[in-house]
Amino acid sequence: MRFASYEHHQRRRVAVVQDDGALHPLPGVSSLSTLLTETDGLPGLLAAGHEALGSPSGPHVCEVRLLAPVRPASIRDFVTFEEHVEGVRKSVDGVTGVPAQWYAAPTFYFTNPHAVYGHREDIPMPPGSAVLDFELEVGAVIGREGRDLTPERARDHIVGYTVFNDWSARDLQGAEMKVGLGPCKGKDTATTLGPYLVTADELEPYRDADGFLRLALTAEVNGEKVGEDLLSHMSWTFEEMTAYASRGTRVVPGDVLGSGTCGNGGCLAELWGLRGEQSPPPLKPGDSVSLTVEGIGTLTSTVVPGVAPVPLPTGRRRTRERR
């Protein structure tokens, strides 16, 4: 089942999306994130969806403004594709290979849940950046609260999946990561999710013998393909990622776990690292990015001009004298 969050006639609604694009609104539901906290996982969400399908259809999907399917409680973005790590490390840090520590655990960072955009929403250039990049990922959405989960138990906590674009200001990212705290403003301006949330049961036919979802991934810039990969090239499953995310803490309904960027052109920086030059060039206002994930859909965004950064002073050097 596919769920959409949308705006129509200045009202926000949640609906089941049929194959022909017809929307069946869920009565009284304006937020999928809120619904997830009330339904306790996939069975409850499917029940709500089946109830909506028994009601008359609403507008067609082409008549509404799609929003991000969920407003995440938090966003953990993992890095699970070995090929991506190797290419981007060479591009951003100027070093080759994959760090040995990367293989120890499915590492992630927290990104900004207050800068989430939906399908076809314009993406502003990050203030002060001239090197904008897309990143093709899949996001798993948590539907039940859990703590210290095993991978086997974690499967029941994943309610569905969506396409995830982790926008990255590579010039800002490369500078600020020299401090050693990870990405900051290089990732802070935008994350795009959509076009729909596809429930986990819909993607079970794509699961391989090792537990990975074998979905085709494609990235296009201005209508030209720049990358393609398989989601099953991840080095950890979503269940293993969820178990790690819940270690010593909670995952809660509405949390989004990004797969990390796929390889073979899942972002421009990987290609720059492999080619030794910025080809294709960084994104600029007017560029259109379309990311397609088999079984989920296509997420499209257009880059637009941003605002100039508000000037701030550099850090003050302070005396070490103690009085």
Q: Where does residue 276 rank: exposed (0-12), middle (13-18), buried (19+ CB within 10 A)? A: exposed
What percentage of the chain exceeds 70 in pLDDT? 100
**pLDDT band, very low/low/confident/very high, at 182 (cuts 50, 70, 90):** confident
Segment 40-59 shows an average pLDDT of 95
Give yes or no for a contact between 180 and 155, defined as CB atoms under 8 angstroms apart.
Answer: no
> Do the bridges between strand 191-199 and strand 297-304 make them parallel or antiparallel, or are there none, so unpaired?
unpaired
pTM (2 d.p.): 0.97
Question: Would you state the pLDDT for residue 143?
Answer: 98
Three-state SS string over the chain comes to CEEEEEEECCEEEEEEECCCCEEEECCCCCCHHHHHHHHCCHHHHHHHHHHHHCCCCCCEHHHCEEECCCCCCCEEEECCCHHHHHHHHHHHHCCCCCCHHHHHCCCEEEECCCCEECCCCCEECCCCCCCEECEEEEEEEECCCEECCCHHHHHHHEEEEEEEEECEEHHHHHHHHHHCCCCCCCCCCCEEEEEEEEEHHHHHHHECCCCCECCEEEEEECCEEEEEEEHHHCCCCHHHHHHHHCCCCEECCCCEEECCCCCCCCEHHHHHHHHCCCCCCCECCCCEEEEEECCCEEEEEEEECCCCCCCCCCCCCCCCCCC
Question: Would you state the pLDDT for residue 5?
Answer: 98
Give the tens place of pLDDT for each residue, 189-229.
999 999 999 999 999 999 999 999 999 999 999 999 999 99
> Do the bridges between strand 23-25 and strand 224-230 make them parallel or antiparallel, or are there none, so unpaired?
unpaired
Nearest to 307 by CA among 152, 164, 129, 165: 129
Question: Would you state the pLDDT for residue 91?
Answer: 72
For the cut 80, the answer to whether the pLDDT of residue 94 exceeds it is no
Give the tens place of pLDDT for each residue, 306-316.
999 999 999 99
CA distances, 276 to each of 96, 97, 239, 273 (Å): 12, 15, 36, 5
For the chain, give the mean pLDDT: 96
Q: Please name the residue that has the structure tokens 């596809």.
A: 198
**pLDDT band, very low/low/confident/very high, at 138 (cuts 50, 70, 90):** very high
Question: Would you state the pLDDT for residue 316?
Answer: 94
How many whole angstroms separate alpha carbon 290 and alpha carbon 321? 56
Give the tens place of pLDDT for each residue, 228-274.
999 999 999 999 999 999 999 999 999 999 999 999 999 999 999 88
How many whole angstroms separate alpha carbon 152 and alpha carbon 242? 10
Both structure tokens of 182: 């990870």
Question: Would you state the pLDDT for residue 151?
Answer: 98
How many whole angstroms separate alpha carbon 171 and alpha carbon 200? 36
Question: Would you state the pLDDT for residue 89?
Answer: 80
How many whole angstroms separate alpha carbon 170 and alpha carbon 92? 7
Both structure tokens of 123: 């993406």
> 75-304 is classed in which CATH architecture?
Alpha-Beta Complex (3.90)
For the cut 90, the answer to whether the pLDDT of residue 6 exceeds it is yes
For the cut 90, the answer to whether the pLDDT of residue 40 exceeds it is no
Longest dimension (CA), the chain: 76
**pLDDT band, very low/low/confident/very high, at 322 (cuts 50, 70, 90):** confident
For the cut 80, the answer to whether the pLDDT of residue 48 exceeds it is yes
How many whole angstroms separate alpha carbon 267 and alpha carbon 228? 10
Q: Among 62-71, 126-135, 232-241, 267-276, name the one with the lowest average pLDDT.
A: 267-276
Question: Would you state the pLDDT for residue 144?
Answer: 97
